[in-house]
């Protein structure tokens, strides 16, 4: 990266932080309205507009200041229904790309959060205001790993079910972590450009959200080369291609979720392979 790109990355990070802080403070002023049944619907509408305003500011900043480049077909989802967004995971920039795709014209994007984040300034406010699903994960000495996985799945299902009352698009990085060559070697999966997906939490989401009638949005993020978040902020990451396909949640049975997800990952791998072989 050049000195100018480092400067642009620093400016973008500072402005993104200020943007987040400004809207979070506004939410803090409005938050009491969420507690009263009469004003709760009004609060949710206003909070969603605040969310989209913050995303638009980030979009303008990244495109015009950092000169970050990404391309995607326009997507518009029904904001009154819950949705699942599946995506491969390459960089912390992925969250900004998914928000730009989903939230600009559709529902807000929520994430599964650890309970500890509730006590972090700004983030705790955002989690409370937008009803981000919170996982109360506790590790117990000597606990059976199978019991731990079952407990995690129950918590994911409970967190996803909350979206039936407060619709949003819940983002799942099914690989569970960011892709790196080292992680690919350790996991020894069948993919060259992806890590093996984890199906347990996804199946729980399918079962919990099927009554809401929303969609699964399968997103593929295609970076020109391996990159860091700092490079993305500085406009040095190259162009990112964002592709997607929307599938009704009702078409996927919970007991078939693992095979469905693995099939989608095979298709994603074939798509990435065809692009990098050009």
Residue-wise pLDDT tens digits, 159-170: 777 788 888 999
* Band of pLDDT at residue 141, cut at 50, 70 and 90: low
Residue-wise pLDDT tens digits, 90-104: 999 999 999 999 998
DSSP one-letter code for 248: E
Residue-wise pLDDT tens digits, 49-89: 999 999 999 999 999 998 888 999 999 899 999 999 999 99
Q: How many CA atoms lie within 13 A of 194 on its CB side?
A: 26
pTM of the predicted model, to two decimals? 0.88
| CA–CA separation, 169 and 171 (whole Å) | 6
| CA–CA separation, 111 and 51 (whole Å) | 14
Residue ranges with strand state E in 63-214: 69-72, 83-87, 109-111, 113-114, 134-135, 169-173
Give 110's strand partners.
Answer: 170
| CA–CA separation, 106 and 84 (whole Å) | 13
Helix-then-strand count for the chain, H and E:
10, 8
């Amino acid at each position: 990266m050049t000195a100018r790109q480092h400067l642009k990355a620093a400016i973008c990070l500072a402005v993104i932080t200020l943007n987040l802080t400004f809207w979070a403070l506004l939410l803090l002023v409005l938050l009491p309205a969420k507690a009263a049944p009469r004003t709760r619907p009004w609060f949710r509408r206003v909070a969603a507009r605040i969310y989209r305003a913050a995303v638009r500011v980030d979009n303008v900043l990244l495109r015009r200041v950092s000169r970050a480049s990404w391309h995607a077909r326009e997507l518009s989802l029904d904001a009154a229904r819950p949705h699942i967004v599946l995506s491969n995971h390459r960089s912390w920039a992925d969250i900004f790309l998914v928000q730009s795709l989903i939230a600009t014209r559709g529902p807000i994007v929520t994430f599964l959060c650890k309970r500890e984040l509730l006590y972090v300034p700004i983030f705790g406010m955002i989690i409370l205001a937008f009803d981000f699903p919170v996982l109360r994960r506790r590790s117990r000495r000597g606990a059976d790993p199978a019991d731990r996985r079952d407990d995690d799945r129950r918590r994911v299902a409970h967190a996803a079910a909350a979206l039936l009352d407060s619709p949003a698009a819940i983002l799942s990085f099914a690989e569970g972590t960011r892709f790196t060559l080292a992680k690919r070697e350790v996991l020894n999966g069948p993919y060259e450009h992806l890590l093996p997906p984890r199906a347990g939490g996804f199946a729980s989401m399918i079962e919990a959200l099927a009554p809401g009638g929303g969609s699964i949005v399968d997103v593929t993020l295609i970076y020109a080369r391996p990159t860091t978040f700092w490079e993305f902020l500085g406009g040095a990451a190259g162009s990112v291609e964002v592709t997607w396909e929307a599938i009704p949640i009702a078409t996927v049975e919970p007991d078939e979720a693992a095979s469905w997800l693995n099939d989608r990952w095979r298709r994603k791998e074939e798509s990435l392979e065809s692009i990098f072989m050009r």
